[in-house]
């Protein structure tokens, strides 16, 4: 029996053995993680999945290039590839339509899925989302340019979180060890190389296509986010007709951790409404 909570089931999607976690029953909710070093579906959504699983079938995959999903031999990544992989993943699980919850990088992928495959999406939740063009922030440059060391990981967690009390030795060490797992950093270094402004553009869906998104959308952002600017979410709120925006004060990029209980209630109420 596998004792690592980050490793769940596996299914072939777009030719890759794709690791995913699943909890609950009911209407599907696909949760797409962000792009921090050593990230997995579990690391990103471990505090959210149990709450949503009370009423939904909650699924959190590791996106190729991250976690325990097989990496493509050619190492070629990009929005087209990731979108194709997610559609193939849904097909493999027999899911015709799902709610989407996307965090940061996962928000960009969620926007692309909603714009390109609107029939596969029900409601959309975007949290600190990438997916539009913006000037590279110092925080995002630090995240995507991470090289493994305890000092660098401590600095990164301090960038992610508004509340400095979250930056504990245990958390720093666990996230550092995660970033050092075999193959993780080698893959991570290829995902968002310099010039990183180009990588932001590569994850963007055009404003014209975003404006056509027909789905009810909840947009969530930490007011004090140093990684993805709040202006991104304000822009998305203006572009997406059926959208609402919730801004958490005294909150950084880790909304699902820093405002865990309120975040979970907010998402649950929105999906149930």
3-class DSSP state for residue 127?
strand
Q: What 8-state DSSP symbol labels residue 227?
A: S
Give bridge partners of residue 33 from the DSSP assignment: none
Please indicate whether residue 253 is annotated as part of the active site: yes
Of residues 35, 104, 179, 233, which has the active-site annotation?
104
Of residues 56, 225, 233, 246, which has the active-site annotation?
225
Please indicate whether residue 225 is annotated as part of the active site: yes
Helix axes 79-92, 105-116, angle to 10 degrees: 70
Angle, CA 115 vertex, CA 93 and CA 253 arms, to 5°: 85
Listed in sequence order, the residues at least 6 apart from 74 whose beta carbon sits closer than 8 Å to its beta carbon are none
Residue 183, Ramachandran bin (φ over 0: left; ψ between -120 and 50: alpha; else beta): left
Residue among 176, 187, 193 at smallest CA distance from 70 = 187
Residues annotated as part of the active site: 104, 225, 253
């Amino acid at each position: 029996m596998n004792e690592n909570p980050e490793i769940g089931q596996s299914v072939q999607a777009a030719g890759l053995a794709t690791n995913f976690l699943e909890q609950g029953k009911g209407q599907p909710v696909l949760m797409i993680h962000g792009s921090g070093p050593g990230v997995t579906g579990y690391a990103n959504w471990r505090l959210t999945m149990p709450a949503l699983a009370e009423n939904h079938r909650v699924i959190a995959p590791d996106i190729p290039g991250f976690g325990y999903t097989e990496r493509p031999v050619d190492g070629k990544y990009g929005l087209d590839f990731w979108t194709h992989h997610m559609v193939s993943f849904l097909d493999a699980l027999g899911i015709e339509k799902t709610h989407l919850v996307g965090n940061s990088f996962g928000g960009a992928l969620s926007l692309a899925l909603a714009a390109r495959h609107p029939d596969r999406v029900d409601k959309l939740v975007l949290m600190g989302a990438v997916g539009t063009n913006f000037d590279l922030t110092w925080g995002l440059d630090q995240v995507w340019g991470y090289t493994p060391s305890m000092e660098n990981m401590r600095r990164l967690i301090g960038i992610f979180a508004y509340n400095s009390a979250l930056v504990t030795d245990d958390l720093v060490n666990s996230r550092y060890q995660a970033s050092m797992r075999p193959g993780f950093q080698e893959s991570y270094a290829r995902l968002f190389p310099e010039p990183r402004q180009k990588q932001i553009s590569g994850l963007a869906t055009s404003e014209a296509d975003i404006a056509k998104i027909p789905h009810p959308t909840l947009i969530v952002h930490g007011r004090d986010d140093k990684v993805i600017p709040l202006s991104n979410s304000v822009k998305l709120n203006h572009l997406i007709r059926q959208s609402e925006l919730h801004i958490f004060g005294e909150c950084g990029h880790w909304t699902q951790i820093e405002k865990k209980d309120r975040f979970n209630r907010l998402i649950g109420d929105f999906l149930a409404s």
